[in-house]
């Protein structure tokens, strides 16, 4: 039942930056909406599950841009209440549900399962993938977007966010997806810059539409070498019957999960150089003096985007 509160402030619905909302259409909002825009190619005339729908703008975007029906689920009762009030469509339903324990849906319900900036928050990614593999139709597709943790600096930015429980590398995400799905493909998430590949210094606050963002298919190795706002993975339902049983989670590198936001001593020691810094290392230090000057100038523009992305 909806509460009598018919309006929410941006801070209330975002939990002071933990979510993105259509009430504040800044560059961070469009960066996140662009991921949904990329996913439209998989949802037209399809039954869609938006797993970790947050403040609902993305579920609504898919529902009005070709999806046959969209179910948006999120663990936050407040977010679901907000969504039910703000986004009312005949082909859109919101439900309060834990991604680690998805219920109420029959096997092979969905054509497309989508999850953006949510899986790093949940307690049991392995069980989510297992459930998703069973919920997908035989020709179904899953798409996930997660933080790109490709070095210690990016690990530091994520591990210091107490809401991020799964500190996984792109290789770990790909490995876990391959356990339950097939044809796993990776994509870089950047910003269009005419005539050049995207680099951090090309970012400006004038990015105002989803079309300013670009997605480029890449190898898993390229994800470690090139800048990306988000690690994007797209995979198909596996036709191997054995994977429909719950498999044991296996870590293939130094990725790890935690039950809460605490940072253990081993991780603190590993990231010691970053904990000793007086400023948060949102950008890589450069040995080239010219590049250092450029990066310093654009730091203020990047900081808002990157800080909020790491907190979501």
* CATH number for the domain that contains residue 77: 3.40.50.150
How would you classify the pairing of strands 181-191 and 231-237? antiparallel
The pLDDT value given to residue 308: 56
Is 2 part of any domain? no
The pLDDT value given to residue 204: 53
Alpha helices per DSSP H over the chain: 10-14, 27-43, 57-63, 77-86, 125-135, 152-159, 170-180, 222-225, 265-270, 272-275, 289-311
* pLDDT (tens place) for every residue of the chain, 312 residues total: 445 555 677 777 777 666 888 888 888 889 999 999 999 999 999 999 999 999 999 999 999 999 999 999 999 999 999 999 999 999 999 999 999 999 999 999 999 999 999 999 999 999 999 999 999 999 999 999 999 999 999 999 999 999 999 999 999 999 999 999 999 999 999 887 644 555 555 555 555 678 889 999 999 999 999 989 999 999 999 988 666 789 999 999 999 999 999 999 999 999 999 999 988 887 665 554 444 444 444 444 455 555 555 454
Could you tell me the end-to-end alpha-carbon distance of the chain, in angstroms, rounded to an integer? 27
The pLDDT value given to residue 295: 42
Number of separate domains in the chain: 1
Is 1 part of any domain? no
Tokens of 154: 């990016």
Is 5 part of any domain? no
Is 127 part of any domain? yes
Q: Under 8 Å CB-to-CB from 212, ≥6 apart: which residues?
A: 30, 34, 191, 192
Is 245 part of any domain? yes
Cα distance between residue 88 and residue 91, in whole Å: 9
Is 139 part of any domain? yes
Cα distance between residue 92 and residue 62, in whole Å: 9
pTM of the model as a whole: 0.86
Surface-to-core class of residue 231, CB atoms within 10 Å of its CB (0-12 exposed, 13-18 middle, 19+ buried): buried
Q: Any idea which residue has 């600096």 for tokens?
A: 153
CB 121 within 8 A of CB 218: no
Is 4 part of any domain? no
Q: What are the DSSP calls for 218-239, one per residue?
A: E-TTHHHHS--SSEEEEEEE--
Q: Under 8 Å CB-to-CB from 194, ≥6 apart: which residues?
A: none
Cα distance between residue 145 and residue 134, in whole Å: 20
Domain that holds residue 180: 10-311
The pLDDT value given to residue 26: 82
The pLDDT value given to residue 37: 97
Tokens of 193: 């810059």
């Amino acid at each position: 039942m909806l509460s009598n509160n018919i309006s929410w402030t941006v801070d209330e619905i975002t939990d002071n930056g933990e979510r993105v909302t259509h009430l504040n259409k800044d560059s961070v909002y469009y960066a996140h909406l662009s991921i949904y825009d990329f996913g439209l190619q998989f949802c037209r005339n399809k039954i869609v599950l938006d797993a970790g729908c947050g403040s609902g703008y993305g579920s609504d975007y898919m529902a009005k841009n070709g999806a046959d029906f969209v179910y948006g689920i999120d663990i936050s009762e407040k977010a679901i209440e907000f969504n039910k009030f703000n986004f009312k469509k005949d082909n859109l339903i919101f439900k309060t549900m834990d991604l680690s324990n998805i219920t109420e849906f029959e096997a092979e319900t969905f054509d497309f399962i989508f999850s953006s900036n949510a899986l790093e928050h949940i307690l049991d990614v392995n069980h989510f993938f297992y459930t998703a593999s069973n919920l997908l139709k035989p020709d179904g597709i899953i798409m996930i977007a997660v933080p790109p943790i490709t070095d210690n600096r990016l690990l530091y930015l994520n591990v210091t966010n107490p809401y991020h429980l799964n500190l996984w590398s792109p290789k770990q995400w790909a490995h876990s997806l391959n356990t339950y799905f097939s044809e796993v493909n990776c994509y870089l998430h950047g910003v269009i810059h005419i005539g050049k590949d995207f680099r951090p210094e090309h970012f400006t606050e004038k990015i105002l539409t989803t079309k300013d963002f670009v997605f480029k298919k890449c190898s898993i190795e390229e994800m470690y070498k090139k800048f990306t706002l988000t690690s994007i993975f797209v995979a198909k339902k596996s036709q191997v019957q054995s994977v429909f049983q719950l498999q044991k989670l296996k870590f293939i590198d130094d990725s790890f999960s935690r039950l809460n936001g605490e940072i253990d001593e081993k991780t603190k020691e590993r990231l010691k150089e970053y904990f000793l810094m007086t400023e948060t290392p949102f950008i890589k230090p450069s040995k080239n003096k010219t590049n250092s000057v450029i990066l310093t100038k654009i730091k203020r523009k990047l900081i808002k985007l990157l800080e909020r992305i790491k907190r979501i």
